[in-house]
Amino acid sequence: MSFKYVLDSFAWVEYFRGSKRGEMARDCLAEGGCITPTIVLAELSDVYEREKNSHWERDLDFIISKTTIVDLDQEIAADAGKIKNEIRKKHESEFGLADGIVLATARKFEAKVVTGDLHFQKINNVILI
């Protein structure tokens, strides 16, 4: 299967909120070929717990049924640290390690990151929602 999009935590939160930004994530899901990195599942679990959102299990089942879950492997892990530091240096941003994992995943599969996270705004192959 060919992958087109990597959905990050921001995209999923907006999708489940039914916001205008979430409509773009919905469109990507409708096209198919979407990836969700496991780090995104961890971030979403954290958000749901903090916000006391009781729909985590339902939404997790949806994510698993509609996207391919990609584990953090050695290649992605090694690339993520390099990417994080390159982007911090180049763009003077607070680009985090989780962001690096998402971007490394997208690069590995030649897909675009779908996000509203402004840390990604100067990076190629990103769809800002």
Which residue is associated with the tokens 């916000």? 51
> Looking at residue 1, what is its pLDDT?
66
Tell me the pairing of strands 112-115 and 68-70: unpaired
Alpha helices in the chain (DSSP H): 9-17, 20-31, 38-50, 56-66, 74-91, 97-108
Q: Give the CATH number of domain 5-128; options: 3.10.105.10, 3.40.50.1010, 3.40.50.720, 3.40.50.2000.
A: 3.40.50.1010
**Eight-class DSSP state of 14:** H
- For the stretch 18-64, pLDDT in tens is 999 999 999 999 999 999 999 999 999 999 999 999 999 999 999 99
Res. 92 pLDDT band, cuts 50 70 90: confident
Q: What are phi and psi of 51, to 5 degrees?
A: -90, 5
